[in-house]
Amino acid sequence: MKLGVHIPKSLFNSTGWSTRAIVWLAAAVAGLVAVGFAALSDLALRAMIAINRDRLWLMLLLTPAIGMAIVWVARRYFPGCQGSGIPQTIAAARLLKNSGQVDGLLCLRIALGKIGLGAFALLASFSAGREGPSVQIAASIMRHVHRFLPNARATRAADLTLAGGAAGIAAAFNTPLAGITFAIEELGRRFESRTSGVLLSTIIIAGLVAIALEGNYRYFGHLAVGPVGMGIVPAALVGSVVCGLAGGIFSRILLWP
């Protein structure tokens, strides 16, 4: 009886490895861009605080002025960059599954506008975040790279877009595992087995790039929690019920009209 080791033929497939190399390089670029966008956002916030430290009235002038400029530039040069970024990525992934056009949702022009105008929005003291935009930015990069794959049919554009959005979350929050969870639960319900390895590694690479550049920091900081006794239970129960009801009623009110 002979015992042998089965080696898959795909292991020596040059086209397959070329595809992986391009996807992984794009994932590193997406992670790098997400980290750069985070640094630019932090710089904009610090500049906003410095400008208004002794001139709190200045925001009454700067916020509407910069806001109008952002809206004009967005409509004139970067149409499609409006919105948080996550719904747009979800819609694009669904459209791509049906061979739909997504240039108005995901492209490098939109990603560029998202970065620049998002930073200016923070500078103007608008309530804007960088997490949702990071999803759309990374998804735009990965979707753009799909056209350069040696075998585009091996990895669907919708799947690569899905991985790009999750890579944006992994890089923005410095949490590769959270990116994987986000991809499965929020952007798509499942990965295809033939592409799951490449796509999951894409998310991990983007997260590792963030960790390499930013260090193993905690996005939400460090919480100092003192001793907790059983006396907290009644307050926790009441607070949970009240907050849950308030959130549910608020959602109903928003959806009703």
Residue count of the chain: 257
Nearest Cα to Cα of residue 86 among 219, 188, 157: 188
Instruction: Give yes or no for a contact between 146 and 195, defined as CB atoms under 8 angstroms apart.
Output: no
CA distance 97 to 110: 21
Number of Cα atoms under 13 Å in the Cβ half of residue 147: 5
Which CATH number does the domain 14-214 belong to among 3.30.1360.30, 3.40.50.10190, 1.10.10.10, 1.10.3080.10? Answer: 1.10.3080.10
pTM of structure? 0.73
Q: What are phi and psi of 176, to 5 degrees?
A: -60, -40
The angle formed by the CA atoms of residues 104, 91 and 96, to the nearest 5 degrees, is: 80
Instruction: Give yes or no for a contact between 207 and 31, defined as CB atoms under 8 angstroms apart.
Output: yes
pLDDT digits (tens, 9 = 90+) for 38-93: 888 888 888 888 888 877 788 888 888 888 998 899 888 888 888 888 888 888 88
pLDDT digits (tens, 9 = 90+) for 144-172: 887 777 665 667 777 778 878 888 877 77
Q: Hey, what's the torsion of the CAs at 71, 77, 83, 84, to 10 degrees?
A: -110
Bigger pLDDT: 145 vs 188:
145
Q: Is 215 left (phi over 0), alpha (psi -120 to 50) or beta?
A: left
